[in-house]
Amino acid sequence: MDEDREFLDWFQTTWHEADIALHNGDAGPRDETWSTQEPVTVFGAWMNAASSEEARAVFRRIGDSFSDVEEFRIELVAHGVSGDLAYTAHREHTTTMVDGERRQYVLRTTQVYRREGGTWKVVHRHADYEPSIQEP
């Protein structure tokens, strides 16, 4: 299997399933898809992090707020793979409960990935709200 197909298979299964779990309130699977090797950064739509430890704290806080995901669909705009590095630019279409209230939103997301020990890990995330859709 070529490196591009291998990465996309991981992104469309392991990573995607981990983010569905997060939107159902379980941050554990997302932790597994993120690197523990610095640098790790998150410039999120809600919260930021400048280290692996801070990122995991953000994920736990988000997981505590989310539940009952109805939709988490990825619209992949662009991606690239070069050796042990990869990136995605995508939109995340989400309908889930946030602090007990049903929310629907679209995030524009760019992520950077690093292959570590043969497994892809996220090392950077930037996400913001799609301008054409009102923030929750």
Is residue 135 situated within a structural domain?
Answer: no
Is residue 134 situated within a structural domain?
Answer: no
Helix (H, G, I), strand (E, B) or coil at 11: helix
The tens digit of pLDDT for each residue in 20-46 reads 999 999 999 999 999 999 999 999 988
Comparing CA positions, the residue from 118, 93, 86, 77 lying closest to residue 19 is 93
Is residue 136 situated within a structural domain?
Answer: no
Is residue 9 situated within a structural domain?
Answer: yes
Is residue 95 situated within a structural domain?
Answer: yes
Is residue 56 situated within a structural domain?
Answer: yes
Global pTM reads 0.93
For the chain, percent helix, then strand, then coil, each to nearest 5?
A: 30, 45, 25
Is residue 121 situated within a structural domain?
Answer: yes
Number of domains in the chain: 1
Q: What is the CATH number of the domain that holds 12?
A: 3.10.450.50
The tens digit of pLDDT for each residue in 73-114 reads 999 999 999 999 999 999 999 999 999 999 999 999 999 999
- pLDDT at site 131: 80
What integer best gives the mean pLDDT of the chain? 95
Q: Under the phi-then-psi rule, with left for phi > 0, alpha for psi from -120 to 50, and beta for the rest, what region is 99? A: left
The tens digit of pLDDT for each residue in 1-16 reads 699 999 999 999 999 9
Which domain range does residue 73 map to? 3-129
Is residue 43 situated within a structural domain?
Answer: yes
